[in-house]
């Protein structure tokens, strides 16, 4: 069960996020209307992760995050914002630009918790006749041959596996793994990592990573 705290002054939006996330998985969710209430909920609810808006009247998201980090609290935090220029370097782990798809938010939540060691239920994925061994970062063929992949490539492949057959937004990958979806260098790095994965996955001709140019990637098998 993932304990999630949503800090959002738009009650309709927080309710919508809560309802959709609970349909996607095992969530226990509390909501707070502003940063001050969020700090109280953090102490009382003790969530695994926080998803917060920035612009709120009583206490904004930046100030709440600053207070959380001032206490050396390392809880993962995702910022939801329509105005990236308002985001301060106060200690959030990643941001998701509004409007967003809740399935992308779910993916980011699980990715952060996986990195933190809080959620780690899945250790492997079947990809056609291949097996992706997450802990060992390798692709294993049906004959038992293993091909090692880089930590970055493994994280990308895990994101694609979780949404197999569905598009994973390019900016979501860049923001989740590199924290900067607008950097040209990391965008090039993503393309390199995708090509490296394709070279390993070609062991099974039925497996492919489709590139929806400028939009995202789909793992098909």
Given a cut of 70, whether residue 44 has pLDDT beyond it is yes
> What does DSSP assign to residue 142?
T
pLDDT score recorded for residue 86: 58
Mean pLDDT value across the chain: 88
pLDDT score recorded for residue 84: 64
Domains of the chain: 2-116 (3.40.50.2300), 124-220 (1.10.10.10)
Residues 70 and 85: their CA atoms lie apart, in Å, by 22
Instruction: Report pLDDT digits (tens) over 141-165.
Output: 988 899 999 988 988 998 899 889 9
- Other Cβ atoms within 10 Å of 62 Cβ, number: 22
Structure token digits, residue 183: 């950097």
With bands split at pLDDT 50, 70 and 90, how would you rate the model's confidence at 134?
Answer: confident
pLDDT score recorded for residue 81: 81
Of the candidates 105, 122, 120, the residue with the CA atom closest to the CA atom of residue 176:
105
Give the 3-state DSSP-derived string for 90-117, with helices as H, strands as E and coil as C.
CCCCEEEECCCCHHHHHHHHHHHHHHHC
With bands split at pLDDT 50, 70 and 90, how would you rate the model's confidence at 138?
Answer: very high
Residues 45 and 54: their CA atoms lie apart, in Å, by 21
What global pTM score does this model have? 0.56
Given a cut of 80, whether residue 119 has pLDDT beyond it is no
Residues 202 and 207: their CA atoms lie apart, in Å, by 7
Q: Which residue has the tokens 């985001």?
A: 87
């Amino acid at each position: 069960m993932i304990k999630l705290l949503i800090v959002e002054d738009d009650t309709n939006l927080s309710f919508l996020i809560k309802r959709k996330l609970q349909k996607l998985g095992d969530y226990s969710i509390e909501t707070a209307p502003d940063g001050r209430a969020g700090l109280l909920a953090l102490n009382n609810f003790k969530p695994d992760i926080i998803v917060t808006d920035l612009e709120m009247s009583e206490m904004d998201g930046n100030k709440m995050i600053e207070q959380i980090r001032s206490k050396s609290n390392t809880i993962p935090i995702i910022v939801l914002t329509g105005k990236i220029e308002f985001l301060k370097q106060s200690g959030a782990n990643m941001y998701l630009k509004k409007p967003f798809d809740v399935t992308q938010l779910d993916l980011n939540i699980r990715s952060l918790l996986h990195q933190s060691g809080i959620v780690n239920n899945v250790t492997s994925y079947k990809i056609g006749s291949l097996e992706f061994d997450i802990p060992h970062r390798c692709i294993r063929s049906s004959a038992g041959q293993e091909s090692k992949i880089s930590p970055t490539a493994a994280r990308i492949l895990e994101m694609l596996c979780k949404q197999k057959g569905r598009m994973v937004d390019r900016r979501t990958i860049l923001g989740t793994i590199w924290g900067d979806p607008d950097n040209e260098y990391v965008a090039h790095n993503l393309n390199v990592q995708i090509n490296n994965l394709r070279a390993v996955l070609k062991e099974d001709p039925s497996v492919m990573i489709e590139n929806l140019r400028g939009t995202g990637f789909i793992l098909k098998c």
